[in-house]
Structure 1
Amino acid sequence: MHLSLLYRGRLSSCNYECAYCPFAKTYDSRAALRRDADDLARFVDWATQQRMDLSILFTPWGEGLVRRHYRDAMTRLSHLPQVRRVAIQTNLCVGMRWLDEVDTRTLALWCTYHPTQVSRAAFLARCRELARRGVRHSVGMVALHEHLDEIEALRAELPAHTPLWLNAYDERPPGYYDDAQIERLQRIDPHFRYNLDPAPSLGAPCLTGENVVSVDGDGNVKRCHFVAEPLGNLYDGSYAAQLRARTCPNSRCDCYIGYAHRPDLPFQRDYAGGVLERVPSFVL
């Protein structure tokens, strides 16, 4: 058996302040950070005891890698023989020395470039260091109008084998992108339209709830981040009896970490082996 887990704990603080970001920007107290670290340690201990194959993506509301407990967790998980992949969404702001201890055959990073928060030169230098270390990674941006030139400049300076994915701006008004802009963005990311204009989801097949689940800091298990239906708890094992094939109950799914698990869309094929970290199969 193979199970993919989307882990989102209590962390909600971020060192960046992007105006468009939908994630909560709150201050995490010392007590909240200790609780988040304890929750994460419990999750890692659970993973250590499993015999089934696991793939894990951390999707914190804030920036996880600035916190040592996330770096330590990823390092430990990367060395477990039952872990196929451990990845995290990150703005890539932290130093690279922690990567000295990881197993790069297992670890991967989903990196987002925020032009208002960091220079392109600094971000590219970090990407080059990831490549030098052999760390699998993808790079992405939110496709704001004011960043279209920056998107093309980043693509031109990234190595050809580094994937650059694009998310449509969530708060866009109707008609935000014209046809020429959409074509321009699709030349960078051929899958951009799936994020811009999601296919109807209601009744569509989805692997969430079957071999993909969402887990919070208390171990509560749901199908995914976008379906509230509880499946049980990770730590008492009650979730396992609920795993089965299901269809999507939502009218639409406009987030990659949701629709990437629909087998009727191309992502299970085009990103085979790299779905969680958003790395196309031709890179692996």
Structure 2
Amino acid sequence: MDLTILYRGPLASCDYDCPYCPFAKRRDSRDQLAADRAALERFTAWAAGQRGDSLSLLFTPWGEGLVRSWYRRALVELSRLPHTRRVAIQTNLSCRTDWLDTADLDTLALWCTFHPGQTPYDRFLAKCRDLAARGVRHSVGIVGLPEHLEMARRLREDLPSPVYLWVNAAEGHSYTDAEADGWTALDPLFPYSRRPHRSAGLPCRTGESVISVDGEGTVRRCHFVRSELGNLYDGSYRRALRPRACPLAVCDCHIGYVHLETLPLYDVFAGGVLERIPAAPPSVPGVPRDR
């Protein structure tokens, strides 16, 4: 079985305090961190035992995972499994990078987000250049707030040209066509993020070849649909895997709508769906203005 898993354990603490994030500067207690570590180690052990499957794994913690040793260790271990096709994590890149030396860089990838005001620009850029020098697959992105536009332009200019710079539409923010064009000049795929996608009744890969797993092993079709499909560790979820339509009216997050079969994003990101790296440099023509 080819299975893509989005894992989100109980970790909710972050070292940044972004005003657009509800988990900014939240501190997990020692017990909460211990529980998150135990949950992640259980998941890693499960993945190691699934030699009959081909696994693609994306970690989407509410907090920042890579400042925790157990996330770095898990990514290294998972990257070296013969049945892991890809393992990736969303990160603010505030961690050190020397741990990557022990990972299989043909398998591991990073989805990196720059948060202006949270870290010096030059420090973040140096981390990106370090990843490029190490040969680490990665994308870099920013939230499309008006006050971020000039910094995003600077980032696009300074990043190595092969690195894809993505832009997430800011939650609750409406864009005029002129504003959207400014962001699209930086990220030709921004129109896919600009507005929520109508998804009700449309076919989606989640619940069939893509699932979401929490720290208890509860399996759902995705992070945004709360109905349960079973449990990862007793195998009960497997009986529920089948083609299914989306039950929600809209899907407005990239890690959700990228799996909609009505969108061409599996072709756009072929080989890089989890780390958000397009198969070829994206271009503006053919990308819809409205969705």
CA distance in structure 1 between the partners assigned to 2:22 and 2:168 by the alignment: 12
Write out aligned runs for 1:63-74 (5 A): 63-74=64-75
- How far off is 1:32 after superposition? 0.8
Give, as a single letter, the amino acid of the residue that structure 1 aligns with 2:224.
F
Alignment deviations for residues 105-124 of structure 1 (CA, whole Å, 9 cap, x no partner): 00000000001111221111
Q: Tell me which residue corresponds to 1:181.
A: 179
SS at match of 2:38: helix
CA distance in structure 1 between the partners assigned to 2:171 and 2:148 by the alignment: 15
- How far off is 1:86 after superposition? 0.5
CA distance in structure 2 between the partners assigned to 1:104 and 1:226 by the alignment: 30
Q: Tell me which residue corresponds to 1:10.
A: 10
Q: Tell me which residue corresponds to 1:262.
A: 260
C-alpha contact (below 8 Å) 1:24/1:61 kept by paired residues = no
Q: Tell me which residue corresponds to 2:39.
A: 39
User: RMSD of the alignment, in Å?
Assistant: 1.1
- How far off is 1:23 after superposition? 4.0
Alignment deviations for residues 23-80 of structure 1 (CA, whole Å, 9 cap, x no partner): 4653111111111111111101100100200000000000000000000000100000
Q: Tell me which residue corresponds to 2:48.
A: 48
CA distance in structure 2 between the partners assigned to 1:119 and 1:168 by the alignment: 22
SS at match of 2:33: helix
1:171 and 2:185 matched: no
CA distance in structure 2 between the partners assigned to 1:128 and 1:28 by the alignment: 31
Give, as a single letter, the amino acid of the residue that structure 1 aligns with 2:39.
D
CA distance in structure 2 between the partners assigned to 1:25 and 1:58 by the alignment: 20
Q: Tell me which residue corresponds to 2:29.
A: 29
Quick one: percent identity of the two aligned structures? 56
- How far off is 1:22 after superposition? 4.2
Equivalent residue pairs, number: 280
SS at match of 1:223: strand
C-alpha contact (below 8 Å) 2:89/2:110 kept by paired residues = yes
Give, as a single letter, the amino acid of the residue that structure 2 aligns with 1:184.
G
C-alpha contact (below 8 Å) 2:13/2:23 kept by paired residues = no
| TM-score, scaled to structure 1 | 0.96
**Structure 2 gap ranges (5+):** 282-291
Give, as a single letter, the amino acid of the residue that structure 2 aligns with 1:85.
R
C-alpha contact (below 8 Å) 2:93/2:112 kept by paired residues = yes
Write out aligned runs for 1:245-260 (5 A): 245-260=243-258
- How far off is 1:263 after superposition? 1.8
Q: Tell me which residue corresponds to 1:213.
A: 211
Q: 1:24 to 1:218 in 2, by over 3 A?
A: farther
C-alpha contact (below 8 Å) 2:197/2:257 kept by paired residues = no
Moved more, 19-28 or 144-153: 19-28
Q: 1:165 to 1:22 in 2, by over 3 A?
A: farther
| TM-score, scaled to structure 2 | 0.94
SS at match of 1:214: strand
1:136 and 2:137 matched: yes
Q: 1:255 to 1:29 in 2, by over 3 A?
A: same
CA distance in structure 2 between the partners assigned to 1:28 and 1:89 by the alignment: 19
C-alpha contact (below 8 Å) 1:109/1:138 kept by paired residues = yes
Alignment deviations for residues 98-143 of structure 1 (CA, whole Å, 9 cap, x no partner): 1111010000000000011112211111011101111000000001
Q: 1:76 to 1:60 in 2, by over 3 A?
A: same
> Could you list the runs of 4 or more consecutive aligned residues of structure 1 that deviate by over 6 angstroms after TM superposition?
none
CA distance in structure 2 between the partners assigned to 1:52 and 1:22 by the alignment: 36
CA distance in structure 2 between the partners assigned to 1:127 and 1:6 by the alignment: 24
- How far off is 1:191 after superposition? 1.6
Q: Tell me which residue corresponds to 2:275.
A: 277
Write out aligned runs for 1:62-211 (5 A): 62-172=63-173, 176-211=174-209
